[in-house]
Amino acid sequence: ATAPARRRVLVLDGAHGDWVPPSFEVVPQVAGDLAERLAGAFALVDGPTFLVGSDTPQLTVDDLWAQVGADDGSDAVIGLCEDGGFWGIGMRRPCPAVFEGVPMSTDRTGVIQRDALWRNGFSVRELRVLRDVDTMADARAVAALASGTRFAVTMNRLQPGGGALGTCLPAAVPASMA
């Protein structure tokens, strides 16, 4: 909420609560697979746009702005993830078509998405590669990298005894899962 922007849009599936800063415009997410939902988000805007995923809690506003705000003349930026996805994508002119035919949630999604930007006439600058949080192992690793964040503090609270990051076990396991 503190990065410089003319418009802040939160594309959300479901109702929002008072956790959404008042500077954000909340719009409903379109139906469809992830590629269709991303295309729908970019169809809502008419100027330079950057979309960041919610699974890279180690990314700070300062870090994001240092990467995205650097103007090297590129028409687009993409931040790839260690697992092959991407954590963020931005374009000077929104082009929902760049998401068409991009398979999501694969170990090649990020590079295929980058190539789709190139095919649609964009010059592309790659941002720093980050680890996103898809598993508990990812959560532990990211919390260790970003020790002062709310995410890391929360992860530490989830650990038995509040100590170092260890294994989180559920309090009860349904019989059907045992």
Its pTM stands at: 0.81
Inter-axis angle of helices 150-158 and 136-145, nearest 10: 130
Could you give the number of structural domains in the chain?
2
Q: Residue-wise pLDDT tens for the chain (178 aa)?
A: 556 677 888 888 888 888 888 888 888 999 999 999 999 999 998 889 999 988 999 988 888 887 777 778 899 999 999 999 999 999 999 999 999 999 999 999 999 999 999 999 999 999 999 999 999 999 999 999 988 888 999 998 887 554 444 443 333 333 333 3
Full domain range(s) for residue 149: 136-167
- Domain of 21, CATH number, reads 3.90.550.10
* Chain-centre distance for alpha carbon 54: 4
Do residue 98 and residue 51 come from a single domain? yes
What is d(CA 142, CA 146) in angstroms, rounded to the nearest whole number? Answer: 6
- Per-residue pLDDT at 165: 44
- Per-residue pLDDT at 1: 53
Here the tokens at position 115 are 């190539």
Do residue 91 and residue 143 come from a single domain? no
- Per-residue pLDDT at 81: 96
Q: What is the DSSP letter of 97?
A: G
- For 134, left (φ over 0), alpha (ψ -120 to 50), or beta? alpha
- Per-residue pLDDT at 177: 36
Q: Does 176 fall in a domain?
A: no
